[in-house]
Amino acid sequence: MRLHDYLDKGASLGPDRPCLTTDGTTMSYADVVGLSHQVAAALVGRGLRVGARVAILSANDPVAFTCVFGISRAGGVWCPINPRNEAAENQELLELFGAEVVLYQSGFAPLVAAIRDQLPAVHTWVCLDSDPDSADDGSLSFAELLTSGATAPVPERPGRPGADELAMLVGTGGTTGRPKGVMLTPGNLETMTALTLMGYPFDGPPVYLALAPLTHAAGVLCFPVLSLGGEVVIMRAPDVTGFLRLVHEHRVTHTFLPPTLIYMVLGSPDLDATDLSSLQCFWYGAAPMSASRLEEALTRIGPVMAQLFGQTEAPMMISMMPPADHFRADGSVATERLASAGRPAPLVIVAILDKDDRPVPAGERGEICARSSLVMTGYWENADETARTLRNGWLHTGDIGFLDEEGFLHIVDRAKDMIITGGFNVYSTEVEQAVLAHESVQDCAVVGRPDDKWGERVVVVVQPYAGATVDPDDLTAFVKQRIGSVKAPKEVHVWPDLPRSKVGKVLKTEIKERIGEREPS
C-alpha cells in the first residue's frame, strides 16, 4: 500500500466519518480525500515527476498532513522536515534530498528566507497558511498552488509499488554529525502498520490523539488508525492540560507520547480528575522510561500503557510490549519487565551479536540487530554508511542489549554511551533507572567523563520536580544502595532542565560540553 491507500481505505468505510480534527474543526474522509486529489493534481501540473522529493516544513496541522497524501498520489516522496531544526541543518537535508518542492507554514518564513537562495533545485515554494498577497516573496500561497496546476485528477498508478519505490525520505543524524537520509518504502510502512494492528488493542473505530510531532512517530502511527476509518485529533503544540481535556472530550482510544511528556502528565494536577476510561492503548517510546514512573502510570492513567521500540531505520516496531504484557497472569504488575522494551515483533527477527557479528548466549550483552521487511533499504546516496549499518543481512542498531529468559529485549545503552570505569562496563540506562527511582527526580541523564584514576567517572545530571530539592550526597547514597558503588555516580549536577532535541530526547553530547571534558580542579 502507498501512503494515500491508508486514507482511501478509511474513506471506503464511510466517507462522512470524521478524519482530521483540529481546534474543534473536523474534516471528513471525503474532505481529506478531495483535498489530497487537488494537491496531487497541482503538483503534477507544476511538473512533479514520479520519485521527486517534496518536503513539508510545518508544525502539526491538518492541511499539511493532508498534503502527505497528495504527494503520494502524485508519485512524489514525502520528506518530513522538523521545523525546530536550525536553518543550516534543514538546508543541508533539503540539499541532500534534492527536494524540488517545499511546503511550509508562514511561521517558518524567516527560516525559509534564510535558506532558499542556497537551494536552486527547489523550483516551487508554497506557504500553506497565507493569503496570496501576504505570501513570502517568490512563494505561492496554498490557494495559488491549487489553482495554478492541473485540474484533471491524477490517474492511479497501476500495480503494486516496485521494490525500489520510496514512500518517505527521513533525515537522521550521522556519526560524523552530517545528516543521513533513511529510505523507507511502502513495504516498510506496510509492515509497521501490520505490526501495529496485530500487536496492540483496537476495539472499534479508533480515535487517535496526536500531540507529538507528525513529522516523527505521531505521524506514521496515523496510518493504521486511518486504515480502520478512525479519527485523528491533532494538537498544534504540546499542552498537558489540553491533552487531558481532549482525551476526555473526544473519547480518545489511542495516543503516543515520549517519556518526558508522560512525566509531565503524571505531574499534572488535572490527571486524577480526568476521565481516561476511553483509552485502549497509550504508546510510549523514543527514549527509555523510568520503571517506577511506568508503574505509577499503570495505576493512575490505567492498564493501557504500551511500549514500542524502533528507530528511523526500522520504524517503531523492532520490539513491542502491548498493555497485557505489563502484567503477570495473576493481574499483578510485572515489575521485572517494566525496564524492558518488550518482545521482538512478530515479523522481526532480533539477534544479539558481538563485535565480530557472532550471536551471544541468552542473557549476555551485545549489539541489538534486526532482520525484517520493516528495515530500510539504505541511506540516500550514502553507500558507505549503508554498508556499515546493513551488514550480513542485519540492521545494526548501535544499541547494546540482551534477551532475557522470557524473550523480552532489554536495552542497556547506546554503544557510544557506555562508560568504562576502573575496567568495568557501566551502562548509563541502568544508572538512570536507579536515579529516576528517587522521589525528587523528574528526569536525568548519565554520561562518562575523563578521569585520571579510573579512565572515566560516572556523572549524573538531574532535573528535580518543581519545588523539590536534590542533595548530591544523598542521591549518590540512594543509587549506591540499589546498584553498588562502581555504578553509583561520582559527580552529581542539579539543573532546572535538561537540554533536549526537537523530539524531546536528552542531548548527552550537549551535557558533556556543558560539564566539560576535563577533570575538575
- Counting beta carbons within 10 angstroms of the beta carbon of residue 340, is it exposed (0 to 12), middle (13 to 18) or buried (19 or more)? buried
Q: What is the pLDDT of residues 414-436, one digit of tens each?
A: 767 778 787 677 878 889 989 99
Are residues 303 and 224 part of one domain?
A: yes
Residue 168 lies inside a defined structural domain of this protein: no
Please answer whether residues 51 and 77 qualify as being in contact, where contact means their C-beta atoms are separated by less than 8 angstroms.
Answer: yes
Are residues 123 and 57 part of one domain?
A: yes
If you ran DSSP here, which 8-state letter would residue 83 be given?
T
- The pLDDT value recorded for residue 173 is 62
Are residues 481 and 505 part of one domain?
A: yes
HSE-CB at 493 with a 13 A cutoff on CA atoms is: 19
HSE-CB at 102 with a 13 A cutoff on CA atoms is: 32
Cell readout for 31 is 474532505
Are residues 366 and 228 part of one domain?
A: yes
Where in the sequence is the domain holding 251, given as residue range(s)?
186-414
Cα dist. 140→6, 125, 170 in Å?
29, 6, 25
Residue 164 lies inside a defined structural domain of this protein: no
Q: How many domains does the chain have?
A: 3
Task: State the CB neighbour count (10 A cutoff) for residue 84.
Answer: 14
Task: Calculate what percentage of the chain has a pLDDT beyond 70.
Answer: 95
Radius of gyration, CA atoms only, the chain: 23
Q: What is the pLDDT of residues 53-69, one digit of tens each?
A: 999 999 999 999 999 99
Are residues 345 and 250 part of one domain?
A: yes
- Counting beta carbons within 10 angstroms of the beta carbon of residue 362, is it exposed (0 to 12), middle (13 to 18) or buried (19 or more)? exposed
Are residues 85 and 100 part of one domain?
A: yes
Residue 180 lies inside a defined structural domain of this protein: no
CA dihedral 305, 310, 314, 320 (to 10 degrees): -40
Residue 311 lies inside a defined structural domain of this protein: yes
Q: Band the pLDDT of 23: cuts 50, 70, 90.
A: very high
CA–CA distance, 501 with 85 (Å, rounded to integer):
9
Residue that finishes a domain, picked among 414, 437, 469: 414
Are residues 203 and 337 part of one domain?
A: yes
Residue 251 lies inside a defined structural domain of this protein: yes
- Counting beta carbons within 10 angstroms of the beta carbon of residue 482, is it exposed (0 to 12), middle (13 to 18) or buried (19 or more)? middle
Q: What is the dihedral sign for C-alpha 122, 127, 131, 134?
A: negative
- Using alpha carbons only, what angle is made at residue 52 by residues 11 and 143, rounded to the nearest 5 degrees? 60
Residue 265 lies inside a defined structural domain of this protein: yes
Are residues 359 and 235 part of one domain?
A: yes
- Counting beta carbons within 10 angstroms of the beta carbon of residue 11, is it exposed (0 to 12), middle (13 to 18) or buried (19 or more)? buried
Residue that finishes a domain, picked among 142, 159, 176: 159
CA–CA distance, 455 with 422 (Å, rounded to integer):
6
Q: Please enumerate in sequence order all residues whose Cβ is within 8 A of that of 157, keeping only pairs 6 or more positions apart, or say none.
A: 2, 50, 75
**pTM of the full structure:** 0.85
- Mean pLDDT of the 179-188 span: 94
Please answer whether residues 116 and 87 qualify as being in contact, where contact means their C-beta atoms are separated by less than 8 angstroms.
Answer: no
Q: Band the pLDDT of 502: cuts 50, 70, 90.
A: low
Cell readout for 145 is 498552488
Q: What CATH number corresponds to the domain at position 17?
A: 3.40.50.12780
CA–CA distance, 486 with 227 (Å, rounded to integer):
50
Are residues 501 and 362 part of one domain?
A: no
Q: What is the pLDDT of residues 341-390, one digit of tens each?
A: 999 999 999 999 998 999 999 899 999 999 999 999 999 999 999 999 99
Q: What is the pLDDT of residues 467-479, one digit of tens each?
A: 999 999 999 999 9
Q: What is the 3-state secondary structure (H, E, C) of 249-295?
A: HCCCCEEEECHHHHHHHHCCCCHHHCCCCCCCEEEECCCCCCHHHHH
Please answer whether residues 44 and 100 qualify as being in contact, where contact means their C-beta atoms are separated by less than 8 angstroms.
Answer: no
Residue that finishes a domain, picked among 124, 159, 194: 159
Please answer whether residues 50 and 65 qualify as being in contact, where contact means their C-beta atoms are separated by less than 8 angstroms.
Answer: no
Q: 233 in helix, strand or coil? A: strand
- Of 474, 452, 423, 475, the closest CA to residue 521 belongs to 452
Residue 170 lies inside a defined structural domain of this protein: no
* Model confidence at 195: pLDDT above 80: yes
Are residues 455 and 402 part of one domain?
A: no
Helix (H) or strand (E) holding 387: helix 383-389
Are residues 424 and 311 part of one domain?
A: no
Task: State the CB neighbour count (10 A cutoff) for residue 110.
Answer: 10
Residue 21 lies inside a defined structural domain of this protein: yes
- Mean pLDDT of the 176-185 span: 83
Are residues 343 and 206 part of one domain?
A: yes
CA–CA distance, 342 with 319 (Å, rounded to integer):
6
Q: Band the pLDDT of 131: cuts 50, 70, 90.
A: low
* Model confidence at 243: pLDDT above 80: yes
- The pLDDT value recorded for residue 512 is 87
Q: What CATH number corresponds to the domain at position 510?
A: 3.30.300.30
